[in-house]
Amino acid sequence: MFTPKYPPQDTAPPGTAASTARTPAAVQPSAPAPVPVARASNRPTVQLTPGSALALAAGGGAVVLVVGAVLVSMLLAVAITAASVAVCAVVLRSLLNEERNR
């Protein structure tokens, strides 16, 4: 699937080997090179009907909502953890100051 596909050897443009062995005696104006024609793809095309487009949009919206909910919950967990660590630090500081004052 990911390997390159090379054309067969017999489809190479003619004159590639002769063009390197050209003599500079008489240079003839060459005819314009033929324009390569794109081959028709044999891959199936994706056709979206209005129903499938609506289902695709709804699925994308659901994915955005789920990812957003997960990220917000992770942020909330970090905020709660930081607040609890701050409360623990204040309590420890007050306990240590109380011991010093005695």
pLDDT at 95 (0 to 100): 94
Domains of the chain by residue range: 68-102
CA distance 24 to 3: 41
* pLDDT, tens digit (0-9, with 9 covering 90-100), for 58-89: 999 999 999 999 999 999 999 999 999 999 99
Q: Quote the tokens at residue 69.
A: 């909910």
Tell me the CB-side half-sphere exposure of residue 91, using CA atoms within 13 A.
Answer: 6
CA distance 89 to 80: 14
CA dist 39 to 3, 36, 44, 83, Å?
19, 9, 14, 64
Whole-structure pTM value: 0.46
pLDDT at 21 (0 to 100): 52
Q: Are 17 and 9 in contact (CB under 8 A)?
A: no
pLDDT at residue 99 is higher than 60: yes
